[in-house]
Amino acid sequence: MASSIASPAPEGGYQFYVTEDPHHDHHGGDDEEHHHETGTMLGFWIYLMSDCLIFGILFAVYAVVGQNYAAGPSPADLFEIDKILLATFFLLFSSITYGFAVINMQQKKQNAMMFWLIITGLFGFGFLVMEVLEFEHLWHLGAGPGASAFLSAFWTLVGTHGLHVTAGSIWLVVLLVQVKMHGLTEANIRRILCLSLFWHFLDLIWIGVFSFVYLTGVLL
């Protein structure tokens, strides 16, 4: 913040000097960083809400056409629930390990944080492998997305979730490289927190998919 100081001039009268508050720039930088962080997190929450709408629409479509089998196979004929449980285990435990990573990040333990992020990525990769194997199995059975309205809705819902997990896994790898190169900077911490929100969001969506699509389909 600028201020003026008056001092007597040699010829009489006064001279005025403008001085700057030495703390002004520092606080201004902090305020700017705070506004940037707040804006980033707000924008990411808005993105997650838009994703909620997308998945809400996909769930609604499945609810409407999920029993239109077109004389084809039903969920009970197709779903191997033991393998789906294993994939669910992978994804849910990846959420727990990501929580451990965030705890270590808050404690400034970079190596421990990276270890837990790597474990998270491995669990995510395991989930994707199980999902690809399931799709391959369905395809060989002739249960592709064009076989019935039920299968079209199923492939779209589960496939969209799988694409999100794939994007999150790629984001995780990029973050690991950035942290390795630059450390726990404010920007990297913000990115890790955003990915944490995204990852836990995908877990919640998968719980809905597992309960509404797989369990309901097999039990009913």
**Extents of the domains making up the chain:** 36-219
Q: Tell me which residue of 76, 160, 174, 92 sits closest to 127, measured CA to CA.
A: 92
pLDDT in tens, 172-191: 999 999 999 999 999 999 99
pLDDT in tens, 19-40: 555 454 445 545 555 555 677 7
CA distance 213 to 62: 8
**pTM of the full predicted structure?**
0.82
| CATH code given to domain 36-219 | 1.20.120.80
pLDDT at 18: 47
CA distance 157 to 64: 13
pLDDT in tens, 38-81: 777 889 999 999 999 999 999 999 999 999 998 888 999 999 99
Between CA 80 and CA 84, with CA 81 as vertex, the angle to 5 degrees is 95
pLDDT at 35: 57
